[in-house]
Amino acid sequence: MNDVEVVDEASPETVREVEALIDEAARRDGQSAVSEHGRLQLRGGPRPGVRHLLLRAGGEFGEGGDRGGGGAGRQPLLGYAQLEDADPVEPPTGELVVAPAHRGEGHGRRLGRALLDASGKRLRVWAHGGHPAARHLAQTLGLSLFRELRQLRRPLTGPDAPALPEPELPDGVHVRTFRPGADDAAWLALNAAAFAHHPEQGSLTQRDLDDRKAQPWFDPAGFFLAERTGELVGFHWTKVHSAEQLGEVYVLGVAPGAQGTGLGKALTAIGLRHLALDRGLPTGMLYVDADNHAAVAVYERLGFRTYEKDLMYRTET
C-alpha cells in the first residue's frame, strides 16, 4: 500500500530528497517535470496556498511524518507533487514527478488522484515536455488539454545565426539596468500591470522576487528597465543557463499605456544583443503561449523556432 502525505512545509531533509528525485527524473527525461517556480516554492518554509504531496513506499513517513526531522526509518521517496492554490479565480495548479525506477507501477495515478482530492476536483496540471506518458495520465484522470506553452530557440552567434535586430526606442524612453532593492517595488508594480491577464506572472510578490535574486544565475546587468520621465514603462529580464550555454528571454513586459509603441520589440533586441554580444552565448530561448499568435509571429520573424512544448491539462468543472 502506498499512501500520499500532504504537508504545508517540506523539511530540509525532504527538500533534498525531492530535489534529488527531480534531478534524477530530468536526466532520464531530458527536461525537468517541476518548473523553476515549483522548485523555489519547495524551499524556504511554508508558502501561502502551496502544499507538497509525498509518496513513499509502504506509506511510511517516519516518526512524526515529514515534520519528524530525523528521517530515521523513512521509506524511499517514489513520487512528489506540488499544488499551488493562490489564484482567486482559476483552479489550483499542480506538477508531479515519479522516480524513473518506479514508473509503470501506478504511482503517477496515485499522485494525480491525490492532487484532484486536494484541489477539490478543480485542477490544472502541467506536463512539461508533453511526453506520451503524461498525456496518458491526464486522460486517465479525466483531464482535458487546456494550454500549450512553446519553448522557442534561435542561434545567437555563428554562421547560421540570423542578424540581430537594432533596437529603436520610442521617443523619450531610455533603458538602464535593474538596481536590486531600489527598483524592487516599482518593478513589481509594473510586472503586475503588464501581466494582469496572466496570473502566474502578474501575481509575483517581493518574496518571489527575492527568491530569484538569490539564485546563482541572477545578474542585474542582464535585467533591463525602460523609463520615461522617471517612470518604468517596460522591462526585459534575461537569464543565462550556464550549463546548457543558453540565453533566455526570461520575462519581457510593457506597461499597458506603452504597448503598441514598438517598445517590446526594442527591449527584445536589447536583451538578445546582450546575450549574444556581451555574454557570447550561442543559442537564445524563450517561452510563449501557442495561442498568442501575435507574439509567436514576432518571435518567428526574429528567427525563433519551436523546440519543445509544455502542455497544461485541467478538469472540466
Could you give all domains of the chain from N- to C-terminal order, each with its CATH number? 4-142 (3.40.630.30), 152-307 (3.40.630.30)
**23 pLDDT more than 90:** yes
Cell of 52: 507538497
Mean pLDDT of the chain: 92
Give 38's contacts (C-beta < 8 A, 6+ positions apart).
82, 84, 95
Cβ distance 284 to 275 under 8 Å? yes
- Report the alpha-carbon distance of residue 57 to residue 54 in Å, rounded: 10
- Report the alpha-carbon distance of residue 77 to residue 90 in Å, rounded: 30
Cβ distance 214 to 259 under 8 Å? no
Cβ distance 99 to 79 under 8 Å? yes
Q: What is the pLDDT of residues 63-121, one digit of tens each?
A: 344 443 444 467 899 999 999 998 888 899 999 999 999 999 999 999 999 999 999 99
Q: What is the pLDDT of residues 240-264, one digit of tens each?
A: 999 999 999 999 999 999 999 999 9
Q: What is the pLDDT of residues 186-199, one digit of tens each?
A: 999 999 999 998 87
Cell of 270: 536589447
